[in-house]
Structure formats: structure tokens, C-alpha cells
Amino acid sequence: MSAVPRDRFMTRAEVEERTRLGPTVIYRKMRAGKFPEPFQVGPKSVRWSEREIEAWAAALPRSHGDGIHRAGKKTRERDPSDEAADEGTR
């Protein structure tokens, strides 16, 4: 019989660090049903399941050359007008 790995509860700060999402985005995604709900662990305290956060992250779509890099930053294509503006500042 194999041991079931224990789940760990994460604070909001830990969830923000792990997901690179801010609190507004986290709660907006929760309201939309697109992010794990936290557990109430005290009168004014909630925690997220680390397993649920990891499963959510694993289910995210991966980059397919659409400008989204692994660090989560979206790049934009350079507009020719940007180059003209840059030349005017040199």
C-alpha cells in the first residue's frame, strides 16, 4: 500500500508568489470558476490547497509561438510607428 502524499495549505501570499497573479486577478478568476476556491481555516483566515493550485497550473495551456513566454510575460509585436518615435529621440 503506497502512502498518499499529504496536502499542504498555502497562504494568499504563497499562492500569489507561486502563480504570479495578484489578489484581484485571483479573486476575479475564483468568481468566474476558473481558480481553486480556498478553505476557511479561521474566522478571518483562508488557505488554498497546494495540490489544487498545482493542478490548476498544470492545466494551463502552454505557449505555441503566440508571444507568451514561460515567465508569463506577453510580448507585443513591435509597431513600425514605435521605431519612428525611437529614431526621433536619438
The whole model's pTM is what?
0.64
**Cβ atoms within 10 Å of 45's Cβ, excluding its own:** 11
CA-based nearest residue to 55, from 19, 13, 4, 82:
19
CA-based nearest residue to 50, from 13, 17, 9:
9
Q: What is the pLDDT of residue 62?
A: 82
In a domain, 34, yes or no: yes
In a domain, 79, yes or no: no
Please count the structural domains in the chain: 1
Domain that holds residue 40: 8-61
In a domain, 53, yes or no: yes
In a domain, 27, yes or no: yes
The tens place of each residue's pLDDT in the chain, 90 residues long, gives 667 778 899 999 999 999 999 999 999 999 999 999 999 999 999 999 999 999 999 999 887 665 555 554 454 555 554 554 445 544
Q: What is the pLDDT of residue 10?
A: 97
